[in-house]
Structure formats: structure tokens, C-alpha cells
Amino acid sequence: MKTRLPRFNCYLLLPFLALIAGCKTAVERTSGQAVSTFRLHLEGNPGGAGSVAVIQIAGAELYVNTAPFLDERSVTNAAVVDTRDGGFAIRVRYDRHGTLVLDSVTAENRGRRMAIFTQYGAGKIERSRWLAAPSSPVTDGQLIFTPMATREEAEEIVLGLNNVARKIARRNRF
């Protein structure tokens, strides 16, 4: 008499192992799946040539070029940092390419602001907003600004931005 019990167990072993390997806590799943975009748009002229959009930041109307001059592909890391006045800011560090672009664009366009646009969410991009419009030149590859967002939103944006930066760095290694 032959039994087929070992074959039956082998068939059940594979889905069982897949089930065990796929289990993660909710925190791990949420933090690993958070994504953010981070786009810098230069201030444009209201009647100028090219594509210009009208945006609202802190109640002020601003004309910006619709095409960003720098995006999240050049970000190496980001952090929410405390400021001296008890508030917080977002610090974004750029790679060599991002540093050169940011330095040249802000130096060539003194007095013009750059509008910072982000889309963010856990698992998929759910929210979008204009964060700030700083006007100071950036020469060290480190952009620090006070966002028009709550601290929780800023931390979610930074988490997603760091996840995207890690994915891009891993892809560029190979």
C-alpha cells in the first residue's frame, strides 16, 4: 500500500512558507510604503512666455513655471528639524547633481522664489500641496524651509521622501 501523504504535505508547505514570509506588522508596512514627490518650481512672470500656473501659498498669489527644475530623484535624505523659535522645518539634502542645479538656479534668479510642491501618502499618493516659497540662494546642497503643514504632515512627507531616496539609491547601485 502506497501513501501519498508526503506529496500532499509538500504542496501545502509552499503556500504556508509564503504566508509566513509575507507577514509584517502594520507599522512596518505603512512606513515602508509611504511615498512622496518633491518638486521645485521657479517663480515665473504672469504674462511671460511658457507655461505658468497661479498658486496660493500662505494666502499670497504666486506665478510659477509648471515644469519643475528639480525633483525627488536628486534627494539623498530629508529630516524634520527643530528650529530655535520652538517650531520645525524640513531639511532636504541633495546629491551632487541636485546641489549643482539648485546652486545655479538660485544664483541666476536672485530675488525670485521657488515654490515647493509635494504629493504624499502611505501606500499611494493621496494628498498634494504647495509647501513653501523660499527665496534665498542655496549653495551647499541643503534646502531648509518652514513648510505650510503640520508637524505630522511634515514627518509623513519626509518619511515618504526618504523611502523614495532609498529606492533610487538602491537602483543606482546596480
d(CA 156, CA 110): 31
Residue position matching grid coordinates 530655535: 84
* Domain 32-173 coded CATH 3.30.1360.200: yes
The answer to whether 68 and 152 have CB atoms below 8 angstroms apart is no
Q: How confident is the model at residue 18 (pLDDT cuts 50, 70, 90)?
A: very low
In degrees rounded to 5, what are phi and psi of residue 96? -60, -45
Is residue 7 over pLDDT 60?
A: no
Q: Where are the domains of the chain?
A: 32-173
Q: What is the pLDDT of residue 14?
A: 41
Per-residue pLDDT tens digits for 126-150: 899 999 999 888 889 999 999 999 9
Mean pLDDT, the chain, as a whole number?
Answer: 82
Do 157 and 145 touch, CB atoms closer than 8 A?
no
Least confident of 33-37, 76-80, 85-89, 93-97: 33-37
Across residues 20-39, what is the average pLDDT? Answer: 59
